[in-house]
Structure 1
């Protein structure tokens, strides 16, 4: 698994935990199987970009986080400083 996929996996796992949802609950919320969530979090398969976007949107709309800033934006800002 490449570094970008690994980063998405770690991000997904962290955001799911922030959501307070179990893997099974998150699978239902995203419309995928529990096995899919398990495989993403075990790094067996790459996380679907659409699922990560939906999870981020859910967290913002549910008031769990104020905003999610992409890592690329933070890196770009650091370079400008």
Structure 2
């Protein structure tokens, strides 16, 4: 699984650094650092929507307060489903 978080200027101003840190913390907490690759990416072309995150090529607009819900829905449920 690959998670890409926009670190372009617009998303940076909307909290992308906090989102990266929260995803890192959740991956470590759930011992998924070997299964999930976390990458930064510059502009994804949807600047007006918030911090853009793609999880396995599905784009999601994420606020810092949404990270845990997004992680549970798009990472944990998918990984648990494939086990």
Is the shorter-chain TM-score for this pair beyond 0.5, marking a shared fold?
no
Q: Structure with the greater relative contact order (CA < 8 A, sep ≥ 6): 1 or 2? A: 2
Greater strand share, structure number: 2
Shorter chain as denominator, the TM-score bin is 0.3 to 0.5
TM-score of the two chains, using structure 2 as the length reference: 0.37
Greater helix share, structure number: 1
TM-score of the two chains, using structure 1 as the length reference: 0.38
